[in-house]
Structure 1
């Protein structure tokens, strides 16, 4: 069976490195995903498990 056929976007296999670059993940988060999945993973898994951290610190009173 040919993997190049039409598939849903959630079934696409992505490079963790490319995913981290495209979604501007911190190096620490990229390394966490690499430890979880290795060098490739489905887009669905990456989107479900990636954590982006805000650049704006949260104040204690808001």
Structure 2
């Protein structure tokens, strides 16, 4: 069975399970990021980004001095 071009385009635009879009604010709250780090991620990605990108680029500073 041949799929239509529109169906193929729709599938390509739909994020997969590894491409979940997250709110940067929610991500920062859940992972207890500093406000400065939250702002850095907002500048990089805007208000939403894929979970994979956020996990790869977030920096957590140690709470132990």
In the superposition, the TM-score normalised over structure 2's length comes to: 0.74
Question: Root-mean-square deviation (CA), in Å?
Answer: 1.6
Verify: 1:53 aligned to 2:61, yes or no: yes
Structure 2 unaligned residues grouped into runs of 5+ = 1-9
Verify: 1:30 aligned to 2:18, yes or no: no
The list of structure 1 runs, each at least 4 consecutive aligned residues, that deviate by more than 6 angstroms after superposition, is none
Aligned residue pairs total 54
Structure 1 unaligned residues grouped into runs of 5+ = 58-62
When Rg is computed on C-alpha atoms for both structures, the one with the higher figure is 2
Question: C-alpha distance in 1, partners of 2:64/2:32?
Answer: 15
Which of these residues, 5, 11, 27, is aligned with residue 19 of structure 1? 27
Question: C-alpha distance in 2, partners of 1:55/1:15?
Answer: 24
In the superposition, the TM-score normalised over structure 1's length comes to: 0.78
